[in-house]
Chains A and B, each alone.
Chain A
Amino acid sequence: DTGVSQDPRHKITKRGQNVTFRCDPISEHNRLYWYRQTLGQGPEFLTYFQNEAQLEKSRLLSDRFSAERPKGSFSTLEIQRTEQGDSAMYLCASSLALAVADTQYFGPGTRLTVL
C-alpha cells in the first residue's frame, strides 16, 4: 500500500533562497491539496488541484508561493525568496473525489526551517 509521499522530509535554507517541495499522491487520486502547519496549530489550507487544474488558492499563499501539478499526478510547491515566517511543516494530501465522500490522506510532510 503506497501512501502519499513527500520529498524532502526536511529542508533548511537561508532567508532569501528558493525552495521546492514535491508531493506524490496515492495513485489514481484526482485531488491534491497542500496545507501548512505551524507549531501548536492545525493544518491550514494553501491550495488545491483537481487533476492538473489549480482550482483554489488561500489568501495565505502569497505571490512568492507557486504550486503546479503538470500531468495531474505529482505536484510541486515552490517558495521564492523565503522568509523566516515561512518556517513550518508543509503537508500534502490526496483524495479520490466521489459524489458524497472526499477523504483526504496525508503525507509525512516537509519541515522547512528558514534561517
Chain B
Amino acid sequence: AQSVSQHNHHVILSEAASLELGCNYSYGGTVNLFWYVQYPGQHLQLLLKYFSGDPLVKGIKGFEAEFIKSKFSFNLRKPSVQWSDTAEYFCAVSPTDSWGKLQFGAGTQVVVTP
C-alpha cells in the first residue's frame, strides 16, 4: 500500500538556523510530489511541487526541495529560517497514473524561536 512518512513530528530551532524536513514515500510508479504548509490559524497552502524535470525545485519563501528517486525521498530545506516559518509542514504524494488523489504524511510541527 502507498504510504508517506515524515521523519520528525516536532522540530524546534532558532532563527537563522537551517531547516531540513525528511519525507519518504513508498510507491512503485511515478509520482507527483508536494509540500504544503499550514501556518497557525490558516489553511493549507502549497509551498512547492515536483512533477518532472530538475529534481531540485524552489518554492515560495525561500524553501526548496530535492527529489531523489533512488531513495524515494523529497526532503524540504531552507537555509535560514525566520520566526514566521513556524507552522506545520505536510509532504504529499500523488501517483501520476491516478487522477490526483493526494496521500499526506502525518506532518511536522516546526517551531522557530526568536
Docked-complex contact A101 and B43, CB < 8 angstroms: no
| Residue ID in chain B nearest A42 by CB atoms | B104
Interface bracket on B: 20 to 34
Indicate if the CB atoms of B43 and A109 lie closer than 8 Å: yes
Closest B residue to A97 by CB, please name it.
Answer: B100
What is the number of residues of chain A that contact chain B, defined by CB distance less than 8 Å?
27
Are A55 and B49 within 8 A (Cβ)? no
Given contacts A43-B44, A106-B43, A108-B43, is CB(A55)–CB(B99) below 8 Å?
yes
Contact A91 B44 (CB under 8 A): yes
Return the contact of B32 from the options A44, A45, A102, A108 (Cβ within 8 A).
A102
8 A-B residue contacts at CB 8 Å? A31-B99, A43-B104, A45-B103, A56-B101, A93-B102, A101-B32, A106-B36, A106-B43
Task: Beyond A43-B44, A55-B99, A97-B99, list 13 extra A-B contacts (CB 8 Å).
Answer: A31-B100, A33-B100, A35-B102, A40-B9, A43-B90, A44-B104, A48-B100, A91-B43, A100-B51, A100-B52, A102-B94, A103-B49, A108-B42
- 9 cross-chain pairs, A with B, having the tightest CB-CB distances, nearest first: A42-B104, A102-B100, A106-B44, A108-B43, A42-B90, A43-B104, A45-B101, A42-B107, A42-B106
Residues of chain A having any CB pair with chain B under 8 Å: 31, 33, 35, 40-45, 48, 50, 55-56, 91, 93, 95, 97, 100-109
